[in-house]
């Protein structure tokens, strides 16, 4: 579960002890010890179906939160409970501090139309409406005048890459394009929270990968809070900043993708993720190391040569006073600088060294590692040197500890 200590931002969505039991005798389940029984026993003794059991989690603004599980795990029921498309049996669902479960119908409709947007697996487009009118529909039922809703719709259409298709009917679009219309329709109302229930599962594999890439780029641009439902582990690992793994109506583990892979909560999660490639999940910031030696540009080459020799290294990164990467120095370079009578390490350095950000995956590091004989320098968004990654580190990161 998320850590509530430190500088963790206030959640925009909080689910507290939510239950969902389908059937006519839900009280006989909730008001007795039967609620702690298995789904099978509950069904046998009460005729009720347990869909969600005591679910709790928090989502922070801008987070991409994935609900993942096999069919029947409760993930789609849960995402629908968040805005009461399905009524929870018990518990609280707080959106911006307001308990959705206590909202009267008028206020609930307003929340659905203004605060949240939802994208389903089935696109739900009106076949006789143009793309523009489909995207503008949510604003139309909100009572926004035509000129303003079309302006917002056109902006959303451009955002999802469908500019030029405004006057087309859905039947003229591919499946991936139709799904983009569905996403644009939700974006047009400018929701704070976007709920997506297996939006790509009906698409062909190639189109699905393309849509995943587009959603990643879109999220980087818009920074929406997204609750995304999927049964596909690789999709969850690719998209999620955190993943909640569900089984039989319960959340088994909530963690960052790397932690799900490296520290599964139990055998079920372990079996679930055993085929996942670490290269697609592990990040440069996780596997980078602190160099044995760092040299500084103001140091003299004789001092640098002594330090490099004592460290038993062939080369060392040179950084500036504000820790920006200047280049790479070798024994040969330092000897040349000494021969030149140089006073510092500002010249002759190898500047063409591979660089990456902490967020890059190991898979993305492969081309960098094979294109250069030098270690990969890890730099933050401001260019500050954070650490390095050597080929042996990449190889070691690919060796999974299965825990078995």
- Whichever domain contains 145, its CATH number is 3.40.50.300
Q: What is the pLDDT of residue 81?
A: 96
Q: Are residues 268 and 368 in the same domain?
A: no
Is it the case that residue 2 has pLDDT exceeding 50?
A: no
E strands in 170-261: 193-197, 225-230, 242-247, 250-255
pTM of the shown model: 0.70
Structure tokens at 65: 């939160």
Q: Could you tell me the pLDDT band of residue 263, with boundaries at 50, 70 and 90? A: confident
Which pLDDT score is estimated for 71? 86
Do 149 and 265 lie in one domain? The reply is yes
Question: Can you give the pLDDT at residue 56?
Answer: 96
Higher confidence at residue 20 or residue 381? 20
The answer to whether 338 touches 314, Cβ cutoff 8 Å, is no
Return all residues near 356 (Cβ < 8 A) that are at least 6 apart: 284, 364, 365, 368, 376, 377, 378, 379, 389
Residue 194 shares a structural domain with residue 66: yes
Mark whether 310 and 198 lie in a shared domain: no
Domain boundary among 262, 280, 298: 280
Same domain, 184 and 276: yes
pLDDT in tens, 367-376: 998 888 999 9
DSSP 279-345: GGT-BHHHH-B--S-EEETTS-HHHHHHHHHHHT-SEEEEE-TT-BEEEEEEHHHHHHHHHHT-SSS
How do residues 244-258 score in pLDDT, each as one tens digit? 999 999 999 999 988
Q: Are residues 78 and 199 in the same domain?
A: yes
- Per-residue pLDDT, 105: 92
- Whether residue 202 sits in one domain with residue 79: yes
Answer whether 377's CB lies under 8 Å from 358's CB: no
Mean pLDDT, residues 102-115 taken together: 91
Residues 340 and 253 in one domain: no
118 shares its domain with 162: yes
**Model confidence at 149: pLDDT above 80:** yes
Asked if residue 308 and residue 258 are part of one domain, the reply reads no
Q: Considering the domain boundaries, does residue 293 fall inside one?
A: yes
Residue located via tokens 């206590």: 102
Tokens of 376: 């990969």
Maximum distance among all Cα pairs of the chain, rounded to whole angstroms: 90
In-domain check, residue 3: no
Give the domain extent around 113. 61-84+100-280
- Over 80: is that where the pLDDT of 281 sits? no
Phi-psi region of 312 (alpha: psi -120 to 50; beta: other; left: phi over 0): left
- Tell which of 280, 308, 324 closes a domain: 280
* Shared-domain flag, residues 137 and 261: yes
Question: Which of residues 280, 315, 344 is at a domain's end?
Answer: 280
What mean pLDDT, rounded, does the chain reach? Answer: 88
Domain count of the chain? 2
Instruction: Please indicate whether residue 208 or residue 320 has the higher confidence score (pLDDT).
Output: 320
């Amino acid at each position: 579960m998320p850590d509530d200590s430190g500088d963790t931002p206030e959640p925009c969505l909080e689910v507290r002890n939510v239950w969902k039991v389908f059937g006519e005798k839900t009280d006989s389940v909730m008001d007795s010890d039967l609620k702690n029984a298995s789904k099978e026993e509950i069904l046998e003794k009460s005729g009720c179906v347990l869909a969600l059991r005591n679910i709790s989690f928090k989502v922070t603004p801008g987070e991409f939160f994935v609900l993942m599980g096999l069919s029947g795990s409760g993930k789609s029921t849960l995402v629908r409970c968040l805005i009461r498309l399905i009524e929870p049996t018990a518990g609280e669902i707080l959106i911006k501090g307001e308990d959705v479960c206590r909202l009267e119908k008028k206020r609930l409709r307003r929340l659905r139309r203004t605060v949240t947007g939802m994208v389903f697996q089935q696109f739900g487009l009106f076949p006789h409406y143009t793309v523009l009118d489909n995207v503008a529909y949510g604003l139309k039922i909100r009572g926004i005048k035509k000129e303003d809703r079309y302006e917002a719709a056109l902006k959303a259409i451009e955002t999802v890459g469908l500019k030029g298709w405004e006057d087309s009917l859905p039947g003229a679009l591919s499946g991936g394009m139709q799904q983009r219309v569905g996403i644009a329709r939700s974006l047009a109302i400018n929701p704070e929270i976007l709920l997506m229930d297996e939006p790509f599962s009906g698409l062909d594999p190639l189109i699905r990968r393309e849509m995943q890439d587009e959603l990643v780029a879109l999220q980087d641009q818009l920074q929406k809070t997204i609750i995304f439902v999927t049964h596909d582990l690789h999709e969850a690992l690719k998209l999620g900043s955190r993943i909640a793994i569900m089984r039989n109506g319960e959340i088994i583990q909530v963690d960052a993708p790397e932690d799900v892979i490296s520290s599964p909560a139990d055998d079920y999660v372990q079996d679930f993720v055993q085929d996942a490639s670490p290269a697609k999940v592990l990040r440069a910031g996780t596997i980078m190391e602190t160099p044995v030696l760092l040299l500084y540009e103001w140091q003299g080459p004789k001092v640098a040569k002594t330090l490099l020799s004592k460290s038993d290294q062939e080369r060392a990164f040179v950084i500036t006073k504000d820790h920006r990467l200047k280049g790479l120095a070798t024994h040969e370079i330092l000897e040349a600088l000494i021969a030149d009578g140089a006073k510092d390490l500002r010249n002759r350095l190898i500047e063409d060294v591979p660089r990456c950000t902490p967020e890059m995956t190991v898979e993305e590091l492969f081309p960098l590692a094979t294109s250069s004989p030098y270690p990969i320098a890890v730099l933050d968004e401001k260019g500050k040197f954070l650490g390095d990654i050597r080929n042996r580190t990449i190889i070691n990161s690919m060796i999974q500890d299965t825990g078995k």
